[in-house]
Amino acid sequence: MAEVLLFHHACGLTAGVREFAATLEAAGHTVHAPDLYDGHVFDNLPDGVAYAEKAGFGTFAERGRAAALDLPAGLVYVGFSLGVMSAQSLAQTRAGARGAVLIDACVPVAEFGEAWPQGVPVQVHGMEADEIFAGEGDLDAARALVGSAADAELFLYPGDRHNFADPSLPSYDRAAAGLLTERVLAFLDRLT
* Whole-number pLDDT of residue 97: 97
CA distance 8 to 171: 15
Amino acid at 87: A
Kindly list the distances between the CA atom of residue 87 and the CA atoms of 17, 43, 62, 157, 173, in Å, as whole numbers in the listed order.
15, 23, 12, 21, 23
- The H or E element containing residue 174 is helix 174-191
Q: What are phi and psi of 154, to 5 degrees?
A: -120, 125
pLDDT tens across 153-171, in order? 999 999 999 999 999 999 9
Q: So what's the pLDDT on residue 20?
A: 98
Query: What is the 3-class SS of 88-111, one letter each residue?
Result: HHHHHHCCCCCEEEEECCCCCHHH
Whole-structure pTM value: 0.96
The amino acid present at 175, given as its one-letter code, is A
Predicted local distance difference test score (pLDDT) of residue 59:
85
**Pairwise CA distance, residues 118 & 114, whole Å:** 12
Structural domain spans, the chain:
3-191
Strand partners, 99: 76
Q: What is the pLDDT of residues 51-108, one digit of tens each?
A: 988 888 788 888 999 999 999 999 999 999 999 999 999 999 999 999 999 999 999 9
CATH of domain 3-191: 3.40.50.1820
DSSP state of 166: -
Question: pLDDT of 166-191, one tens digit each?
Answer: 999 999 999 999 999 999 999 999 99
pLDDT at residue 179, as a whole number: 98
Supply the pLDDT for residue 57: 78
